[in-house]
Amino acid sequence: MADVARLAGVSAQTVSRVSNGYPGVVESTRLQVLAAMKELGYRPNSAARALKSGEFHTIGVITFNLSTTGNTRTVEAIATSAAVEGYATTLLPVALPTQDSVRGAFTRLGELAVDGIVILMEVHLLDAATVALPPNAHVVVADSNAGDRYCVVDTDQVGGARAAVEHLLDIGHRTVWHVGGPADSFSSEGRVAAWRAVLEEAGRPVPAPLRGDWSAESGYESGLRLAEEAECTAVFVANDQMALGVLRALHERGRRVPQDVSVVGFDDIPEASSFLPPLTTVHQDFSEVGRRCVDGLLQQIRNDREEIGTTLVPTRLVIRASTAPPRAAV
C-alpha cells in the first residue's frame, strides 16, 4: 500500500479508501490510485479487510443430503445468486442429521468465518427440542415448517401435490394411489398430506400409501406392487426419480402408461420430458428457491436484524403424455 501511495503521489489513507470503495475520493485521484495498483500488481488483502470490518462476504451452506435433485439444484442456485451479490459460498455437508453433527457444522462454519448460514433440510431437525441454533446467527432455512422461529424459504409442496391429484381426478380417475418419500422428510409429508386431503375432500377412497427413499430403485419396488393392484389406474409419485422406477415396473408387468395407469411425478427434472412416455409432473423452481434464500439472508446481514416467517415459491403442473383418462371413461 505504501508503494502504491508513493507511485500515485497520495497518502496511504487515500489508497485504503480507494481499495475499500469508500465515497468522497476525487475521481481523478481514484483513477490515479487504480493505475498505480495495476502497475504494481497490488491486490487488497481481503482476509485482513474482513477481520477489520467483521464482514467476510461468505455464506455458509449446511445440507444433509446432496444426492437428491432438490438439494443439489438449490445449492447450485444459492452459489450462483451469492456470486452475483459478491459473496462466496462455503458448502458443508453433514453426514448424520443429529444435534451433535449440526452443532459441529456450525462450529466449523464459525471457524471459517461466514456472515450467514443457509440450511437445507430434508427432515424435521429444526424442532427446538432437537437442534439448537447458535444465538445471533443469521440463518435462512429451506424446506422446513419452522417459519414461526426462522426465516424459511420453501416450495409450495401442498399446492403442487394438490394440483397433481386434482388433475388425475378431473380426467376421470376414481382415486389416486401414492408413492411417497421417506416418512421423516418434511417435503414428503407435505405431499402425502395434500394427496390424502384432496381424496378425502372429494369423497374418494384413500389407498394405503407406499414409501420410497427418493431413488428410482425404490420407485421400481413400489411400481411392482402397484402393477398387481388391478384397481390402480392413477399414481401420484413424490418425485421424478421414483416415478422413473414406477414407469419401468409397470412396463415390465405389462401395464401400459397412460392407457392402463396414469403417472404424475414431482420436481420436473430436466430429463422428465425424455421419459417414456414423457412425464407429467409438478415443476419446482429451484433457482428461485436458491435466490430467495440468498436474498433473505442478505437482508438479515445488511439490516442486522433476524427475520421470521415462510416464503413459498409457487409450483405448476406440467402435463405431458404419462396421464390420460381411464379406459372406462374414454
- The string of pLDDT tens digits covering residues 211-222 is 999 999 999 999
pLDDT at 134 over 60: no
Neighbours of 94 (CB within 10 A): 18
Q: Which band of pLDDT confidence, cut at 50, 70 and 90, is reported for residue 133?
A: low
- Listing DSSP states for 282-298 in one string gives EE--HHHHHHHHHHHHH
Q: Which domains does the chain have, with CATH numbers?
A: 2-44 (1.10.260.40), 53-154+286-313 (3.40.50.2300), 157-284+317-329 (3.40.50.2300)
Closest CA to 201 of 231, 229, 161, 232: 161
CA–CA distance from 85 to each of 150, 292, 294 (Å)?
22, 12, 9
| pLDDT score of 121 more than 80 | no
Q: Report CA-CA distances (Å) from 163 to 229, 274, 289.
A: 24, 22, 20
User: Higher pLDDT residue, 20 or 115?
Assistant: 115
> What pLDDT is recorded for position 202?
98
Q: Is the pLDDT of residue 130 over 70?
A: no
Average pLDDT value for residue range 258-270: 97
Beta bridge partners of 91: 61
Encode pLDDT of 209-252 as tens digits: 999 999 999 999 999 999 999 999 999 999 999 999 999 999 99
More confident residue, 111 or 200: 200
Chain mean pLDDT for the chain? 87
Average pLDDT estimate for 79-87: 93
What is the C-alpha to C-alpha distance for residues 58 and 51, in angstroms, rounded to an integer?
A: 13
Q: Is the pLDDT of residue 80 over 60?
A: yes
Q: Is the pLDDT score of 98 beyond 70?
A: no
Task: Report which DSSP code applies to 123.
Answer: B
Residue 240's CB: how many other CB atoms inside 10 A?
Answer: 25
Higher pLDDT, 303 or 67: 303
Q: Give the pLDDT of residue 21.
A: 67
Over 50: is that where the pLDDT of 43 sits?
yes
Mean pLDDT, residues 188-203 = 97
Q: How far apart are CA 11 and CA 35, in angstroms?
A: 15
Cα 154 to Cα 312: distance, rounded to the nearest angstrom: 5
Higher pLDDT, 28 or 161: 161
Q: What is the pLDDT of residue 242?
A: 98
Higher pLDDT, 330 or 149: 149
In the chain, where does DSSP find H-type helix?
A: 2-8, 12-19, 27-40, 46-53, 69-84, 99-112, 157-170, 186-201, 216-227, 240-252, 286-303
Above 50 in pLDDT, residue 18?
Answer: yes
Question: Is the pLDDT assigned to residue 50 strictly greater than 50?
Answer: no
pLDDT reported for residue 16: 79
Bridge partners of residue 155, in order along the sequence:
313
Q: What percent of the chain has pLDDT over 70?
A: 88
Beta bridge partners of 93: 63
Sign of the CA dihedral with 35 first, then 41, 46, and 48 last: negative
Question: Quick one: how many helices (H) and strands (E) in the chain?
Answer: 11, 12
Residue 127 confidence (pLDDT):
52
How buried is residue 325: exposed, middle or buried, by Cβ count under 10 Å (0-12/13-18/19+)? middle
Cβ atoms of 182 and 211 within 8 Å: the answer is: yes
Q: What is the pLDDT of residue 110?
A: 67
Q: Per-residue pLDDT averaged across 170-192, rounded?
A: 94
